[in-house]
Chain A
């Protein structure tokens, strides 16, 4: 099971079991829905943006451990960040999952913090969509896109 632990790291299992900021955000002024039609995962991301800063963020939905943990950890990572910082973080996170560099290089350079736990997902290409669904949905919410996000 050693290789599987690469993808199902303790921090990921923990956030799957006890997702943070997992609720509706009544005072949200940004919202988007995401959907992975291949596996049926759904997510709604709520954000309260004031003066270019993500003051609060939450999510609801149903998905696998990777998708739930990714959404949960994303809300923690993005809260309090400026829109530009959130966007930059997504770029680094995306690079971690898809780039050709070794996971350790990417995580060190990008200082992703806890999010570096998702480095193992890059070995399982089909699960990359699970890990990025919430992030794509956040991006849509911050850009005020009305169309639901789809991984396909």
Chain B
């Protein structure tokens, strides 16, 4: 199908973009990479009267270190995350998840902020924002505010973003010498949406888990933290016994939806398998 007719503008700054949205009485959409928005418009699932192109705004670009955090400008593309030494050093979990994001051509245009704003529960970066306890910086004509990833993802494709608000940057706490991370996902074919995926960001000292955050993708209407599993593992060593217990707790904690290809029980089983693998890697520090 082809898109409905719409107007297009390329503002010179974030403020102009925000004002344009208000000026359109909300019948507008911001576009950056557009890798989900363009097909949605082409299929007429969305039909904004005005597209506000924010892809070239310098304010929204780039990777930098800022006050104990890695600042990821909202329009930083997936391929830039994948190729960044800063990300590898300071946010290794993102570097491990990035090769799993879509396909190369999509990664060349899709943006980090766009992925979070869409909040697809099967996407890697929203779940990783949760695992990293990232802070999401949001602008509107009223000013700027910050929301923790834990409060950002509300329901299926629903976030804390209010109409007209725009993600400007995401702040990820810097990895330390104690940081260990792991990411993997299970899919039927390369590049397909994962049946289940997970990322772990932990602080470990002398073999003991000081702090651990585990986030799953594709197991619910939002990315999901496995908080009961985290509580089970905190303060312990990742022994085979502890990992088995964590898998059992996960089996009771997760309640994934089933579909015609993947019954709920199968997805729960695969999540347990995946958790076991990831905790094994965390212990082995690979």
Q: Does chain A bind chain B?
A: no
Chain B interfacial positions (CB closer than 8 Å to A): none
